[in-house]
């Protein structure tokens, strides 16, 4: 029989019906089988959002949340046009292979180590439009973003691009000013707020271009104020915020709930280089006057007191001997000969507690406060000397880096601490020896010329005994106009230094 005839035969058709019936029967039995003993069938329900149970309190909370949301909308609309992206090329600079060190990770530049050769380096950052004069628009950003730029491209949030030019920068405050020229009349200028009015817990919004994502907004709060210890000896007292800040945000704006710029985002503390809620911004009040200096001079002009400071008062034993336990201020360890402080009668060992009535909390704060005083102005200093509160007026001069970096002008040039300091191994102190321990001698300073060395224990000055730090600074003040000779204990031996006569 042919295959065609077999497929259409009666027997083949009946066999297929039987097989189909068996399959259908098994299927129905599976679908309608009884549940196992001891169990019950579960109802089938659809996943859907339940209706919100509303009441007056809930509705009031929603209305409050919407008000906050609308405020954020308004902030974004107001601030975004005034915050720009800066694409930067640093040309012809030789760079060394280096990896960033924890906890300071700047926000722009390649993640991989630079090769040791001359080549353009590309970077990314943000900036804030702070002023316009005619066709010239000025953008505030960080020194580490644009301070060494050979080429700058300014990108607005609406996509417009302009060729930027560096006006000037300042490494100590990590700020720079960039400008571009335009006939466009609709350039938005940011409104600068008052960072002195900030409180911990205030809402904070960060605006910038993290990782090149232009016009990004993140929100958080002010986590802390007055933070110090920024990278590269930055002298600012930073605003800490948990608003997300990442690479590319540097130079962008930190704004308050009113849309006012209260800070310039600068650095983050992170083990990975990404945001972990530890972002830091330069308070806008720290840089308002600097904007004028950069426009006028291309640099920031700092006031100079002519002193060198130390944190010796943070050492418990040293603070106790000096009578400074629990006191806030800045300790003067050296003065610059013929500098403003020297002319006003300020001496090594004086402890500055206030400037023009403003209380000084730390050495960093004294540097900032004096630096912001216009050169030529007179400042009233309040300080403690040998336990006595005193005042003096001094004329603040213009900081000259050539003078400030010349150790030959600094007196005495030796840093000492208490022999009872916790940082000292008491077993290494000769029995019965009293005095002050030398921990640092500045090269080319008077102390260096006399032959003082780190590790020396100063026991006498001009033959007069020194029992502790207070004796050291009191005798130094009395004898400073005379020929000075120190007697020291060096490796168990008594040694006299060379003589020094102040010129």
Active site residues: 144, 174, 250
> Which of the 8 DSSP states describes residue 27?
H
Residue 447 contacts by C-beta under 8 Å, 6 or more apart in sequence?
412, 413, 414, 441
Q: Which of 270, 276, 315, 230 is nearest to 103 (CA)?
A: 270
Do the Cβ atoms of 359 and 353 come closer than 8 Å? yes
Q: What are the helix (H) ranges across 437-484? A: 446-450, 469-479
**For residue 79, what is the DSSP state?**
H
Q: Is 233 exposed, middle or buried (0-12, 13-18, 19+ CB in 10 A)?
A: exposed
Specify the long-range contacts of residues 460-466, CB closer than 8 Å, at least 24 apart.
Answer: 460/435, 460/486, 460/487, 461/485, 461/486, 461/487, 463/487, 465/434, 466/434, 466/435, 466/436
Q: What is the Cα 29 distance to its own chain's centre?
A: 74
Using CB atoms within 10 Å of the CB of residue 470, give its burial: 0 to 12 exposed, 13 to 18 middle, 19+ buried: buried
CB atoms within 10 A of CB 469: 29
As a residue count, the chain comes to: 503
DSSP codes of every residue in 279-307: EEEEEGGGTHHHHHHHHHHSS---EE--E
Smallest Cα–Cα separation from 151: which of 88, 108, 86? 88
d(Cα 401, Cα 160) in Å, to the nearest integer?
A: 40
Q: How far is CA 38 from the centre of its chain?
A: 67
The number of beta carbons lying within 10 Å of the beta carbon of residue 97 is: 9
CB 267 within 8 A of CB 142: no
Closest to 380 in 3D by CA, of 371, 372, 390: 390
Q: How many angstroms separate the CA atoms of 66 and 52, rounded?
A: 17
Neighbouring CB atoms inside 10 A of 360's CB total 23
Q: Which residue has the tokens 């001069």?
A: 397
Going from the C-alpha of 453 to that of each of 315, 426, 443, 488, the distances in angstroms are 21, 19, 10, 10
What are 315's two structure tokens? 């050492």
How far, rounded to the nearest angstrom, does the alpha carbon of residue 54 sit from its chain's CA centroid? 46
| The token pair that represents 448 in the structure block | 């260096």
Q: Distance (Å, rounded) from C-alpha 206 to C-alpha 267? A: 12
């Amino acid at each position: 029989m042919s295959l065609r005839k077999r497929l259409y035969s009666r027997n083949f058709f009946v066999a297929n019906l039987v097989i189909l019936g068996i399959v259908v029967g098994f299927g129905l039995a599976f679908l309608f089988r009884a549940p196992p003993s001891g169990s019950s069938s579960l109802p089938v329900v659809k996943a859907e959002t339940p209706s919100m149970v509303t009441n007056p309190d809930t509705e009031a909370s929603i209305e409050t949340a919407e008000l906050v949301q609308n405020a954020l909308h308004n902030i974004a609309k107001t601030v975004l046009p005034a915050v720009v992206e800066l694409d930067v090329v640093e040309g012809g600079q030789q760079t060394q292979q280096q990896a960033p060190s924890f906890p300071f990770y700047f926000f722009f530049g390649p993640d991989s180590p630079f090769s040791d050769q001359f080549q353009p380096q590309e970077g990314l950052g943000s900036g804030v439009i702070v002023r316009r004069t005619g066709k010239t628009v000025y953008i505030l950003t960080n020194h580490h973003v644009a301070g060494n730029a050979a080429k700058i491209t300014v990108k607005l949030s609406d996509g417009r691009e302009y060729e930027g030019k560096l006006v000037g920068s300042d490494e100590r405050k990590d700020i720079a000013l960039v400008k571009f020229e335009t006939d466009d009349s609709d350039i938005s200028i940011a409104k600068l707020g008052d960072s002195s009015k900030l409180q911990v817990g205030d809402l904070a919004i960060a605006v910038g271009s993290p990782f090149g994502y232009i016009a990004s907004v993140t929100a958080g709060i002010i986590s802390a104020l007055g933070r110090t210890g920024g990278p590269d000896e930055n002298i600012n007292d930073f605003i800490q915020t948990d608003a997300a800040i990442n690479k590319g945000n540097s130079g962008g704006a930190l704004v308050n709930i009113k849309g006012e710029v209260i800070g310039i985002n600068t650095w983050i503390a992170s083990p990975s280089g990404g945001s972990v809620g530890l972002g830091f911004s330069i308070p806008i009040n720290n840089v308002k006057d600097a904007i004028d200096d950069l426009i006028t001079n291309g640099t920031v002009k700092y006031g100079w007191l002519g002193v060198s400071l130390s944190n010796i008062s943070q050492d418990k034993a040293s603070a106790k001997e000096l009578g400074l336990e629990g006191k806030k201020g800045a300790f003067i360890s050296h003065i610059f000969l013929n500098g403003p402080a020297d002319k006003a009668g300020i001496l090594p060992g004086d402890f500055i507690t206030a400037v023009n009535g403003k209380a000084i909390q730390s050495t960093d704060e004294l540097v900032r406060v004096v630096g912001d005083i216009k050169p030529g102005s007179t400042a009233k200093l309040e300080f403690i000397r040998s336990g006595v509160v005193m005042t003096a007026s001094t004329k603040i001069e213009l900081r000259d880096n050539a003078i400030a970096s010349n150790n030959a002008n600094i007196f005495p040039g030796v840093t000492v601490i208490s022999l009872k300091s916790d940082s000292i191994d008491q077993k290494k102190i000769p029995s019965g020896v009293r005095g002050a321990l030398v921990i640092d001698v500045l090269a080319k300073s008077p102390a260096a010329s006399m032959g003082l060395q780190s590790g020396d224990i100063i026991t006498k000055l001009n033959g007069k005994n020194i029992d502790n730090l207070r004796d050291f600074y009191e005798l130094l003040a009395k004898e400073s106009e005379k020929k000075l000779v120190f007697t020291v204990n060096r490796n168990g031996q008594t040694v006299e230094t060379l003589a020094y006569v102040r010129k």
